[in-house]
Amino acid sequence: FRGVYLPPALHPLNKTLVKGGRWKDVDSTQEKRRSFLHDFCKKYNSRKKLQTHLVHLVSRIYVEDRHKVLYCEVPKAGCSNWKRVLMVLNGLANSAQNISHDDVHYGKHLRKLDSYDLKGIYTRLNTYTKTIFVRDPMERLVSAFRDKFEHPNSYYHPVFGKAIIKKYRHNADEEALKTGSGVKFKEFIQYLLDSHRPVGMDIHWEQVSKLCYPCLINYDFIGKFETLEEDANYFLQLVGAPAELKFPKFKDRHSSDERTSAEVVRQYLKELSKEERQMTYDFYYLDYLMFNYTSQ
């Protein structure tokens, strides 16, 4: 699988299970997104040979065998609720409403595609309905920062926070160095843009192009966080989910916080210099291009 030129052909979506005419607009948006991504990948890939191992390509993809669904997880784009839905589809829970955050993320209930043998991987890639849900890159980034650094966190503060404060904060006090709490957005961005990062990347701010490889894996359905509910509910129709299963509306954690919106993002971006802002956009340029987002 090394050095292949893709993308494969764009297959038409199977819409035989969709009931009623209310999905017309969602469907037309979906077709535009699919052909946009396909055309982009054709142009982009003709210049670039991607050297990636198949098992690595599919390491973020969750499998739901009953309804033949593959879902590539993009953190901060509705992924917790998507995993709840997959658990219900899989018969592991009756309702998405009462599955806890810990059960979703640490419960090991769902299988990932890289846990199958090569034949199992290929068969599923070729026959299942593959979906990805994305979000405006800057909103996703700010959302990840707020979630991991502005709330107590027993992993991100000691692992990332300490390293970030130590490297990017001059005259940091001992308390900050000891706990790793109180990372500022500007310090976080310095870490993100540093080619010699003191700690590695993390899936919450990794580019979607490197989490899900949308130009190598031919996603059948491209959902967006900005239209999350209608996209998700249309997708559930496409795969023949039970009629009573609807995508959950609730915010998974820190539910009293204001959602990260374009306005919230603007406030955070004010903390950066013009160069830092531009470099952050550049860091996510592929995500902007692939999914037709415009920078703020």
> Does 122 lie in the same domain as 62?
yes
For the range 78-84, what are the long-range contacts, defined as Cβ-Cβ under 8 Å and sequence gap of 24 or more?
Answer: 78/133, 78/135, 78/223, 78/225, 78/228, 78/232, 79/133, 80/104, 80/105, 80/252, 80/253, 81/232, 81/247, 81/248, 81/250, 81/252, 82/133, 82/232, 83/110, 84/248
> Does 82 lie in the same domain as 49?
yes
> Does 107 lie in the same domain as 37?
yes
- Kindly state whether residue 64 falls inside one of the protein's structural domains: yes
> Does 45 lie in the same domain as 73?
yes
What are the residues facing 130 on neighbouring strands?
70
59 in Cβ contact with 277 (< 8 Å): no
- Kindly state whether residue 235 falls inside one of the protein's structural domains: yes
Domain range spanning residue 85? 23-136+207-239
Residue 221 host element (H or E): strand 221-224
Task: Give the pTM.
Answer: 0.92
Q: From start to end of 33-85, where are the E strands?
A: 61-64, 69-72
- Kindly state whether residue 213 falls inside one of the protein's structural domains: yes
- Kindly state whether residue 9 falls inside one of the protein's structural domains: no
Q: Rounded to whole angstroms, how far apart are CA atoms 296 and 286?
A: 16
- pLDDT at res. 81: 93
> Does 194 lie in the same domain as 98?
no
Would you give per-residue pLDDT tens digits along the chain (296 residues)?
444 444 556 778 888 888 878 899 999 999 999 999 999 988 887 555 556 678 888 999 999 999 999 999 999 999 999 999 999 999 988 888 888 877 887 777 899 999 999 899 999 999 999 999 999 999 999 999 999 999 999 999 999 999 999 999 999 999 999 999 999 999 999 999 999 999 999 999 999 999 999 988 999 999 999 999 999 999 999 999 999 999 998 766 666 678 899 999 999 999 999 999 999 999 999 999 999 999 76
Q: Rounded to whole angstroms, how far apart are CA atoms 121 and 29?
A: 29
> Does 98 lie in the same domain as 75?
yes
- pLDDT at res. 255: 66
Number of domains present in the structure of the chain: 2
> Does 146 lie in the same domain as 190?
yes
- Kindly state whether residue 16 falls inside one of the protein's structural domains: no
- Kindly state whether residue 248 falls inside one of the protein's structural domains: no
Q: Rounded to whole angstroms, how far apart are CA atoms 177 and 154?
A: 15
> Does 220 lie in the same domain as 117?
yes
> Does 92 lie in the same domain as 35?
yes
> Does 69 lie in the same domain as 153?
no
SS3 content of the chain, % helix, strand, coil (to 5): 45, 5, 45
- pLDDT at res. 224: 97
- Kindly state whether residue 4 falls inside one of the protein's structural domains: no
220 in Cβ contact with 129 (< 8 Å): yes
Tens of pLDDT, residue by residue over 3-22, are 444 455 677 888 888 887 88
> Does 279 lie in the same domain as 195?
yes
- pLDDT at res. 27: 94
> Does 226 lie in the same domain as 194?
no
- Kindly state whether residue 109 falls inside one of the protein's structural domains: yes
Question: Regarding beta strands 61-64 and 111-112, do their DSSP bridges make them parallel or antiparallel, or are they unpaired?
Answer: antiparallel
